[in-house]
Structure 1
Amino acid sequence: MSYKTDLGRVIGLGTANEGVHEWFSGRVLSVALVPLAVLFLWIVGSLIGEEHSTVVAAFQNPFKAIVVILFLLVAFKHLADGAKEILLDYVHGKATLAISLVATRLICYFLGAAGAFAVAKIAFAG
């Protein structure tokens, strides 16, 4: 017994036409977060309790700034995708679901962009 439509069987997609993409994207983001999280904790953890000038000097290193920015962007994208799945499972009203999905995605993207901007500002302006 198959739940796929005839067209879905022919082109190899499920009924939503994006299930494999979302599943694979979630796995790629999860795998990418492992080394990024370790590097992020190593970089930021070593700066706890340091003077302002030491922190600025650390983020002016291109490798450290890029790692922190990548971590923030990937982490908030992963958060947005995970929150979307939770909302799709537990919010049942159409209007409430639409508003929740848009608001959650905007908040996650805003926080990721704000963090990336903050690191970039420290890296370039000091």
Structure 2
Amino acid sequence: MAAPTIRSLRSPLGRVRGLGAAKGGTHHWWLQRVTSVALLPLTIWLVFSLARMPDATWQQATAWIGRPFNAVLLLAFLAAAFHHMAYGLQEVVEDYVRGELAKVGALLALKGACFLLWLSATLAVLRIAI
């Protein structure tokens, strides 16, 4: 029986870490969880705030958005929601789209659409608030 050869002093966990197929799965997993945690209180705030003004006029709604506290929380909600959506849909594309070219094209379209939607929503809030 031959003696085992030691090729590395790193542990098995150390050799495996960071060597997955995407080389970034842990990062995406953590970002998905962070945006989920951020969205929980922001969504509760938004739902209760909007539920308190069911018969609000356009002027009352824009005045509500124009308040600094509401504008900041609304911008935080938009950022967290669009990041969360982009990472979630990226996972779907990576898992179910076949072919590297189709996958890259779908991811570029997805990220571009999420960015443009976030940008337009953010500019709308800022235009009302400023």
Q: TM-score range by the shorter chain?
A: 0.7 to 0.9
How far residue 10 of structure 1 moved from its aligned partner, in angstroms, is 4.8
Q: 1:57 & 1:39 partners in 2: Cα distance?
A: 17
Query: Once structures 1 and 2 are overlaid, which stretch shifts more, 18-27 or 95-104?
Result: 18-27
Gaps in structure 2 of 5+ consecutive residues: 1-7
Structure 1 residue aligned with 2:5: none
How far residue 44 of structure 1 moved from its aligned partner, in angstroms, is 2.9
Gaps in structure 1 of 5+ consecutive residues: 1-5
Structure 1 residue aligned with 2:42: 36
What SS does the aligned partner of 1:13 have? coil
Aligned match for 2:85, one of 71, 79, 88: 79
What SS does the aligned partner of 2:109 have? helix
Aligned match for 2:18, one of 13, 17, 22: 13
How far residue 67 of structure 1 moved from its aligned partner, in angstroms, is 0.9
Structure 2 residue aligned with 1:3: none
Deviation digits for residues 37-86 of structure 1 (CA, Å, limit 9, x no counterpart): 11111223334431122112111211101111111111011000000000
- Please tell me the root mean square deviation across aligned C-alpha atoms, in Å: 2.0
Among the aligned pairs, what percent are the same residue?
30
Distance change >3 Å, CA 47–CA 120, structure 1 → 2:
farther
Q: Give the residue type in structure 2 aligned to 1:120.
A: L
Richer in helix (by share): 1
Q: 2:122 & 2:54 partners in 1: Cα distance?
A: 19
Q: Which structure would you say has the larger Rg? A: 2
Answer yes or no: is 1:67 the counterpart of 2:68: no
Q: 2:112 & 2:53 partners in 1: Cα distance?
A: 30
